[in-house]
Amino acid sequence: MRIKILQSYFEMKAGYKAASAITLDYCERQKYLYSLVKANKPPDREVYWIKCQEMLAHLYDCDYLLWLDMDAFVYNHELRIEEELIRRSEQLPVMMAADVADESNRHSPIEANTGVILVKNCETAKAILNEWWQVPLVYPDYEKYRYDELWFDQSCFNGVILPKYRDSIKLLPDYYLMNGHYGTFIRHLSGHQENYTAKELRKICERRSAFHKYLPLLEEG
């Protein structure tokens, strides 16, 4: 089984170099493919939307594709995607975690967080990604999410795609496996404050000897 992790950035913000270096090391250790793509801003919407297009473009040389936002990284390098994620996905085309950052920030436990997405290379998954991209073009109520209305792609996913494809999407209530600030396998350091990702990542790297080697990447900003 071929597995690929995909990350994409528009601007290399503080913390992103370290987050991607950590995930690249994980992929080399586990013999997974890894792609880090410099994104172009789409002509008709904010850059957050590129995940739909980038995932579609990468579903050609792998059986499963794992999208990680740039503020996400693999925390536990011993765990394997086949065992921890794919086995839990029940063969469904898409698996995501509930939109919970931690137990004091349970944003929307019955909806999905789009920062970490496991996609099976199949026609239904491609249809989901295509339709997700089309949501603000097809549904007038969602047109505003192309630009400055939070949370862009995630609002469109939860408003239209999740209800429509409910039987094809595994939504993990135990979000902390593949998402959240304290994720046991994958962590997603989503936050509003300036440089939240870099600050939190520095704390994590300082506390774990195996992650000390990434501290210089955090000094560079």
By CB under 5 A, name the binding residues for Mn ion: 69, 71, 115, 190
- Minimum Å gap between C-beta 98 and Mn ion is 15
Cβ closest to Mn ion, residue 25 vs residue 71 = 71
Q: By C-beta, is 50 or 80 nearer to Mn ion?
A: 50
For the beta carbon of residue 43, count every other beta carbon within 10 angstroms. Answer: 5
Least distance CB 187 / Mn ion (angstroms):
11
Q: Using CA atoms, how far apart are residues 76 and 74, in angstroms rounded to an integer?
A: 6
Closer CB to Mn ion, residue 52 or residue 80? 52
- Chain position whose Cβ is nearest to Mn ion: 69
* Residue count (the chain): 221
Q: Are 71 and 197 in contact (CB under 8 A)?
A: yes
Give the shortest CB-91-to-Mn ion separation in angstroms: 27
What are the tokens at 29? Answer: 């250790």
Rounded to 5°, the CA angle 100-105-106 comes to 45
Q: How far is the CB of 190 from Mn ion (least distance, A)?
A: 4
Task: Report how far residue 71's alpha carbon sits from residue 188's, in angstroms, rounded to the nearest whole number.
Answer: 6
Between 68 and 218, CB nearer to Mn ion: 68
